[in-house]
Amino acid sequence: MRNLGLKVRMVIVGSILFALYAVAAAAAIFVFGSGVLPIVLIGSVVLIGIQYKVGKWAALKSVGAEDMPEDRFREVHRSVEQLSRDMGIEKPRLMYADMGVPNAFAVGRKKAGIVVVSTELIQLLDHDELEGVLAHELAHIRNRDVVMMVLGQGVASVVAIVAQYIVLLTGDNDIADFFLAIIVGQIVQMLVMIFVMAISRYREYVADGDAADAIGRGEPLARALEKISAGNERASDSAVDEQVNALCIFGRPIGLAKLFSTHPPTEKRIDRLRN
């Protein structure tokens, strides 16, 4: 993680998430006693571990990703090998999928990364544009973006679960408390995710910048984003669900676009790459 701006933002957001986690743990201790602390800590680790493993498997399964044969996709393998050397990481496992839209995403960490590229993307982009997209995904792996997102989502889940149990066990334990607990949990998780999504959007800018550095200029990735955006707008059938959409190089805003989108506006990304 070489980008100073990303480091500063990670410290700020990380501190906020840690503070929220600490408040949730303190509230649990206040309500249930100190004996609940090991349960909260162990449960947090288990939950985040499960989210990481299941999320990775589900992302690959949802798009029907298959290993990318080197004899069929020789240029892609060659580009990733060179980019991986230049960016100082191990070559990730390469997979492809028919997603219905031109897109790509990365999962995993530095020494166990996977990059999935849609066949539509390979067909759509010129060689230098595809290199820009591949470099962007490798930057996500190098910067541990997927791992950090899972940690953030895990903290949001833990805080929400603690809030739900506090509502349930301090109320009258009736059906009204059950529904109130669900509502409170959803609101708490949504508030925590605002911070997680904010860092996700900035990570996209950083990955774009790292990709431009890796291939020597930003123009090819800017053109790729234009083509990908147009291809997604035209597509009527996509195999990419909302969870995987958050990992992709191109994501559609969901919910309250500015607060809960995992990606910044494509136009802004293109402007930054060209300027």
Q: With residue 93 as reference, give the H or E element that holds it.
A: strand 93-97
- Looking at the chain, list the stretches that DSSP marks H as alpha helix, in order from N- to C-terminal side: 4-32, 37-63, 74-87, 119-124, 127-142, 145-170, 175-215, 219-234, 242-245, 257-260, 266-274
Q: DSSP letters along 263-275, please?
A: S--HHHHHHHHH-
Give the number of other Cβ atoms within 10 Å of residue 174's Cβ.
Answer: 9
The CA-CA-CA angle for residues 60, 66, 67, to 5°, reads 115
251's tokens? 């994501």
Q: Which position among 137, 204, 219, 267 bears the catalytic label?
A: 137
CA–CA separation, 42 and 102 (whole Å): 40
Whether 242 is a known active-site residue: answer: no
β-pairing, 114-118 vs 104-107, is: antiparallel
User: Would you name the residues annotated as active-site residues?
Assistant: 137
